Amino acid sequence: MNLEKLVAVSGRPGIYKMAANRPNGLIIEDLDTGKKFFAPSRRHQFTPLESISIYTETEEATVELKTVFISMLAQLEATPPVATKSSSTEIKNYFEIILPEYDRDKVLVSDIKKLIKWFNYLNERTLLVLPTAEELAAEAEAEAEAEVTVDKSEEE
């Protein structure tokens, strides 16, 4: 699952693919039509999905959006996402199943609704896939190497 080029654009519904970066905005591509258009940074704010994390009550303090989407996808058959128009209690109960350790004080119901909308949008377009065992192993190895590099730089 690669969220690297996907961005949420304020004032526009859905998720877009970043086609090019300009000094005064982004050229974004509609995922359905493939049509590209310019979104000026004076009018819009851009949030790369790759940079979004969810607050948790664990030592790491946050979990990447990618990890939450993987959990939602893995539990899709047993626990499908609730409707975004459901009650706050239903939405919180659903998210507790997906991410039991999420921080109930910092993560708002509106945040969970947006996350569910994004998940449904991307899943309908088959842009979300569960990682294979090899991909998980490679990712874990890359994280371990990054930690070793950080530890060595701290020692110096």
pLDDT digit string, tens, across residues 129-142 = 887 767 666 766 76
CA–CA separation, 118 and 116 (whole Å): 5
* 107 pLDDT tier (thresholds 50, 70, 90): very high
The answer on 72 and 89 residing in a single domain is yes
> How far from 129 is each of 69, 74, 95, 97, 138, CA to CA, in Å?
9, 9, 20, 20, 16
Task: For residues 12 and 69, state if they share a domain.
Answer: no
In a domain, 38, yes or no: yes
At 1 the pLDDT is 64
Distance CA 40, CA 27 (A): 9
**CATH (domain of 43):** 2.30.30
- Considering the domain architecture, whether residues 28 and 62 belong to the same structural domain is answered as no
Same domain, residue pair 90 and 116? yes
- By CB atoms closer than 10 A (0-12, 13-18, 19+), residue 58 is exposed
Q: Which two tokens stand for residue 11?
A: 């004032």
Q: Determine, yes or no, domain membership for 33.
A: yes
pLDDT confidence of residue 60: 85
Same domain, 57 and 108: yes
Report if residue 89 sits inside a domain. Answer: yes
User: Is residue 76 one of the residues assigned to a domain?
Assistant: yes
Q: Are residues 69 and 113 in the same domain?
A: yes
Which structural domain, as residue segments, surrounds residue 56?
A: 52-124
pLDDT surpassing 60 at residue 86: yes
Taking residues 13-36, what's their average pLDDT? 94
| Phi, psi of 79, rounded to the nearest 5 degrees | -135, 85
Do 18 and 71 belong to one domain?
Answer: no
What is the Cα–Cα distance from 62 to 65, expressed in whole angstroms? 9
Q: How much is the pLDDT for 141? A: 74
Same domain, 33 and 88: no
CATH number at residue 87: 1.10.10.1650
**For residue 147, what pLDDT band results from cuts at 50, 70 and 90?**
low
Number of domains the chain is built from: 2
Could you tell me if 63 and 95 lie in one domain? yes
pTM: 0.83
